[in-house]
Amino acid sequence: MLLQRVRPGRTLTAEAATRFRDACLAGILVVASSPLLLLVGIAVAISSPGPILFRQERVGRHQRPFHMLKFRTMAVDSNDEVHREFVTKMLRDELPHQDGDELFKLTEDERITGVGRILRRFSLDELPQLFNVLSGQMSLVGPRPALPWEVELFQPRHRKRFEVKPGMTGLWQVKGRSSLSMNQALDLDVQYVDRRTFWLDLGILARTVPVVLSGRGAS
C-alpha cells in the first residue's frame, strides 16, 4: 500500500501511516534535541530583546491557516516591506537574470540578528516546527509553508501543492534551497505531490541532513 504513487484519492491507510511516522519521528527528535532547543532558546533570549519563539500565520493543507513556530531570528517589530517587494518580484519573474551563483534571497537583511544568521544558516530556527508536526498541522516532508500574501500571487498550477500538509523539508530543500527561484521551488512542490510515496519521503529526509549541515543554499 505504501509503495503506491500518491494521487488526490490517497488511501486512509497511507495517510495514517504517514501521520504515525511523523508523530513518532517528531517525538523522538524533540526529546533528542531538547538540550539543543534549550541552548538555542537561551542564545535567542540574550541576543536581542523580545520573545524566544516567533509565531507566524501560514497556509496549510486545503489552504487552512495555522500558526507556524520558529526561533526568532529578527529584531522585534521589523518591517517586512523590502522582503515582500523582493518575493513579489520573484513570483512575477521580474528579478534580473541570475547567473547560477546568486541566491534568490535577501543576503543583506538588516532585520536579522547575529545569532539569527547562524540559526538560519543551519536551519536551527526551524526546530520548533517539530511541535507543528506533533500537532498535525505540518508533516516532516512536504511543500514549503507559504504566507497568505504569497498564496495570492501563486500561479493556478501551483494550487495543487495544497493537497498535502506543508513540510519541514521537501524537494525544494534538498534541490537548492535559496539557490532556487520561488517559482522553481513551487514547481518542485507540485512535482512532490504528483510523485509522493513513503520511500520518496524517506529519501528526502535522509538527504536533508547533509544539506542542512553544509549550509548550502542558505543565507
pLDDT given for residue 105 in this prediction: 58
More confident residue, 51 or 2: 51
Structure-block grid coordinates of residue 210: 547533509
Q: What is the pTM of this model?
A: 0.84
Where are the alpha helices (H) located in 2-139, listed in sequence order?
Answer: 12-32, 34-47, 81-91, 114-121, 129-134
pLDDT given for residue 106 in this prediction: 56
More confident residue, 143 or 8: 143
Query: Does 99 have pLDDT greater than 50?
Result: no
More confident residue, 148 or 178: 148
Amino acid code (one letter) for 115: V
Cβ neighbours for 164, distance < 8 A, ≥ 6 positions apart: 61, 139, 142, 143, 192, 193, 196
Provide mean pLDDT across the span 31-59: 95
Provide mean pLDDT across the span 50-74: 96
pLDDT given for residue 5 in this prediction: 46
Least confident window among 62-71, 99-108, 111-120: 99-108
Is-contact 93 153, C-beta < 8 A? no
Which residue ranges make up each domain of the chain?
12-213
* Angle, CA of 171, 92 and 189, to the nearest 5°: 15
More confident residue, 119 or 101: 119
More confident residue, 84 or 119: 119
Q: How confident is the model at residue 76 (pLDDT cuts 50, 70, 90)?
A: confident
Other CB atoms within 10 Å distance of the CB of residue 54: 19
Per the listing, cell 525544494 goes with 172
User: pLDDT tens digits for 110-141?
Assistant: 788 999 999 998 999 999 999 999 999 999 99
In terms of average pLDDT, the best of 8-22, 79-93, 105-119, 137-151 is 137-151
